[in-house]
Structure 1
Amino acid sequence: MKTVEFRLPQEYDKSFIVFQEIGQFFPCPWHYHPEYELVLVLKSTGRRMVGDHIGYFDAGDLVFMGPSLPHVWVNDPEFFKGEAGYQADAIVVQFVDAFLGKPFMEIPEMEAFRSFLLRSNRGMVIKGETREKITALMTQMLPMNGLQRLSSLLQLFDLLAHTTEYEYLASPGFVQNTQLKSSDHLRKINQYIMQNFQEEITLSEIAGVANMALTTFCCFFKDHYRVSFVEYLNTVRIGYACKLISEKDLNIVEAAGESGFNNLANFNRQFKKIKNMTPSEYRRTLNVV
């Protein structure tokens, strides 16, 4: 499945984009772009794919994505057939990180939002009260201009900067770049995993990289990643396998081997556990998108 760069039109007198996508179905292909993007579905149902994540959306779905993360929203068949009874409708907000100038993003008041942006490279589905507040702001922004519009965007930034009501979408192995602002231990651990996940990595080996005793490392890793080291490593490998299947069209056995699995049965088992579908089902899904 070929990824294309896709850009929304920006008005000459606007520093960022607020765009309403309304029609029989959402027309965008599997694509990426250099802007950060917030997508709010007002009406419609279907599947959304963000990186290697495949999920379902309906009215109220809200997703934030970092730059260059491939994605697509695919409406259910009744929309393509004109049988839904209503049009698909969504609001999209896009901006580059320096749209107000690089010095603005570096002021102390933007520190929390800068941290949020660093975490957004995997894409996030926003939930709860944060989603409700952002939905209200985005629907009000459509007719706005000037400082009123910019003020609403900064309110969005504040809500995103301080929320914990989100779930990551794409896996670390797909994006190949976590960019976490954290301790030197985490930086070394993550760098080692990303450079060596295609080979065998033992617990004692990675604990040595972190300069920790085995038990200390296991507790440290679980505290910071919220999963065990083996679970995280499998997530990285499966994400990379998805990338190989989608971008290089490798067969299942080749993708398993190149992503660090030397046992096909284990690869299939871990793929089903992490992606909720088999590798073959994942490939068929790509062919439909």
Structure 2
Amino acid sequence: MNTIFREVTPLSAEDCFMIFSRVKSEFNFPIHTHAEYELNFIENGAGARRVVGDSVEEIGSLELTLIAGSNLEHGWLNHYCKSDQINEITIQFHNNLVNNDLLSKNQFISMKEMFDKASCGLTFSNEAILKIKDRLYSLATEQEGVHSVLKLIGILYDLSLSKASRVLSSTSFVKEVQTYDSRRIERAYTYMLENYSKEISLSDIAGIVGMTEVSFSRFIKKRTSKTFIDSLNEIRLGHATRMLVNTTHNVSEICLACGFNNISNFNRLFKKKKGCTPSGFRENYNETKIFL
């Protein structure tokens, strides 16, 4: 297997963050990963394609995405973008810019939750972007110093308060277990992640966490905003997309290997989640990969 380009960033251990501001006419950097967290802002890039994990989407004229997963594949590609004046600001910072002691404090809980979600990629609404856009441009011209670090933390904090952010990649695609501040939910998710290829019923999960089926159904919906079936299907689809990307197994084989017993149902669920068929996703994703 070829491997995705692993970027070695210029961010040193002695620096808190690096910021790159540029005006360009095309996206020419390959799909890549890196250990550092990244906040990427793009203006006038409508029509470009964003790839984050198993999420492949066309962006609008304003784009802001936070990457906080060291093995999370991501990149932006030309696709249908026709602009010859794309404004891009990329901020890369260490994962301990705000250390765990601070993130455990009440005042920083929203930032901790944001970074947890961003392990699968987190994109923000136009409303949230417009609130901090001028501060990003200002930060790009800021002289190095403590004030610039405080400004970045302020931007990240305000973004963490946004209610209109959206997780991009499936957790099972990037092999991350999201935290929910609930041992029961995490126990349920761990079981589903380890047994997704087998038949799993609501009664199985309810028994594992020591709840009745009705109580667990309400509990998981309240904690995750998803039903049990939606959660299980999302895990299975994440593994399916990883197999579509990394193996040559046909769609029927992948369907069965990921716990779906009906190919029609698998195709329907996949298209609803990804906006295309499994075979279309494989073709589309492979076109975006630039291997080095």
Answer yes or no: same fold by TM over 0.5: yes
Q: 1:249 to 1:156 in 2, by over 3 A?
A: farther
Q: Does 1:207 align with 2:206?
A: yes
TM-superposed CA distance for 1:128, in Å, is: 4.6
The 2-side partners of 1:212 and 1:103 are apart by 33
The 1-side partners of 2:91 and 2:152 are apart by 9
Identify the residue that residue 231 of structure 1 maps to in structure 2.
230
User: Please, which moves more after superposition, 105-114 or 261-270?
Assistant: 105-114
The 2-side partners of 1:266 and 1:245 are apart by 17
**SS of corresponding position for 1:199:** coil
Aligned CA-pair RMSD: 2.2
TM-score by length of 1: 0.89
The 2-side partners of 1:12 and 1:228 are apart by 43
Deviant stretches of 4+, over 4 Å? 100-109
TM-superposed CA distance for 1:53, in Å, is: 1.0
Identify the residue that residue 194 of structure 2 maps to in structure 1.
195
The 1-side partners of 2:96 and 2:241 are apart by 32
TM-superposed CA distance for 1:212, in Å, is: 1.0
Identify the residue that residue 148 of structure 2 maps to in structure 1.
149
Identify the residue that residue 56 of structure 2 maps to in structure 1.
54
TM-superposed CA distance for 1:236, in Å, is: 1.2
The share of aligned pairs that are identical, in percent, is 27
**SS of corresponding position for 1:61:** strand
Identify the residue that residue 6 of structure 1 maps to in structure 2.
7
For each residue in 1:87-128, what CA deviation from the matched residue of structure 2 results, as whole angstroms up to 9, or x when unmatched?
A: 333111111122476666566643432232122212111115
Q: In 1, are the aligned partners of 2:220 and 2:228 still within 8 Å (CA)?
A: yes
Give the aligned length. 284
The 1-side partners of 2:105 and 2:284 are apart by 44
Q: In 2, are the aligned partners of 1:122 and 1:168 still within 8 Å (CA)?
A: yes
Query: For residue 239 of structure 1, what is the amino acid of its counterpart?
Result: G
Q: 1:85 to 1:228 in 2, by over 3 A?
A: closer
Q: Does 1:22 align with 2:20?
A: no
For each residue in 1:156-175, what CA deviation from the matched residue of structure 2 results, as whole angstroms up to 9, or x when unmatched?
A: 12212322221111112212
Q: Does 1:136 align with 2:134?
A: yes
The 1-side partners of 2:12 and 2:201 are apart by 53
Q: In 2, are the aligned partners of 1:2 and 1:247 still within 8 Å (CA)?
A: no
**SS of corresponding position for 1:209:** helix
User: Please, which moves more after superposition, 126-135 or 266-275?
Assistant: 126-135
